Structure 1
Amino acid sequence: MTLAIMQPYFLPYIGYMQLMNAVDTFVLYDDVAFINRGWINRNKLLINGQEYLFTIPLKDASQNKRINEVHLADDPKWRSKLLKTIEQGYRKAPYYGTVMPLTEKIINFTTDSIADLIHFSLVELNQYLGLTTRLVKSSTIYSNTHLKAQERILDICQQENASRYINPIGGTELYDKPTFTQAGIELNFIKTNRVEYPQFSRTEFIPWLSILDALMFNDIAAVRTMLGAYELV
Structure 2
Amino acid sequence: MKVGIMQPYFFPYIGYWQLIKAVDTYVIYDDVNYKKKGWINKNNILVNGEEKAISLKMSKVSQNKRINEIEIDNDLIYNKKLLKTIKETYCKAPYFKEVYILMEKVINQEELNLAKYLTNSIIEVCTYLDLHTHILLSSDLKKSENLKGQDKLIEICNMLSADQYVNAYGGLSLYSPLDFESKGVKLEIIKTNDISYQQKEVKKFVPNLSIIDVMMFNSPKEINSMLDDFTIIKDFYPLLHIGS
Q: Distance in 1 between matches of 2:178 and 2:228?
A: 27
Match of 2:57 in 1: 57
Match of 1:75 in 2: 75
- Matching residue's letter, 2:2: T
Match of 2:166 in 1: 166
Unaligned runs of 5+ in 1: none
Q: Distance in 1 between matches of 2:227 and 2:5?
A: 17
- Matching residue's letter, 2:19: L
1:68-125 Cα distance to aligned partner (Å, 9 max, x none): 0011125332211111100000000000011110111111111111111110011111
In terms of mean alpha carbon deviation, does 68-77 or 188-197 score higher?
A: 68-77
Q: Residues 28-177 of structure 1 correspond to what in structure 2 (within 5 A)? A: 28-73=28-73, 75-177=75-177
Q: Does 1:14 align with 2:14?
A: yes
Q: Distance in 2 between matches of 1:172 and 1:74?
A: 37
Q: Does 1:205 align with 2:205?
A: yes
Match of 1:184 in 2: 184
Question: TM-score under structure 2 normalisation?
Answer: 0.93
- Matching residue's letter, 1:181: E
Instruction: Tell me the number of residue pairs that the alignment of Structure 1 and Structure 2 aligns.
Output: 233
Match of 1:222 in 2: 222
Q: Distance in 2 between matches of 1:75 and 1:83?
A: 12
SS across alignment from 2:139? helix
Q: Distance in 2 between matches of 1:210 and 1:172?
A: 23
Contact 1:95 1:218 in 2 (8 A): yes
Match of 2:27 in 1: 27
- Matching residue's letter, 1:98: E
- Matching residue's letter, 1:62: S
- Matching residue's letter, 2:18: Q
Once the two structures are TM-superposed, the CA of residue 140 in structure 1 deviates from its matched residue by 1.6
Contact 2:74 2:110 in 1 (8 A): no
Question: TM-score under structure 1 normalisation?
Answer: 0.97
Once the two structures are TM-superposed, the CA of residue 145 in structure 1 deviates from its matched residue by 3.2
In terms of mean alpha carbon deviation, does 10-19 or 72-81 score higher?
A: 72-81
Q: Distance in 2 between matches of 1:144 and 1:91?
A: 48
Q: Distance in 2 between matches of 1:230 and 1:34?
A: 28
Given the superposition, is the C-alpha separation of residues 74 and 104 from structure 1 closer, same or farther in structure 2, using an over 3 Å criterion? closer
Q: Distance in 2 between matches of 1:75 and 1:105?
A: 15
Contact 1:142 1:159 in 2 (8 A): no
Q: Distance in 1 between matches of 2:12 and 2:57?
A: 17
In terms of mean alpha carbon deviation, does 143-152 or 211-220 score higher?
A: 143-152
Q: Distance in 2 between matches of 1:160 and 1:11?
A: 26
Contact 1:142 1:156 in 2 (8 A): no
Unaligned runs of 5+ in 2: 234-244
- Matching residue's letter, 2:155: D
RMSD: 1.1
1:184-232 Cα distance to aligned partner (Å, 9 max, x none): 1110001111211111131200000000101000111110000011101
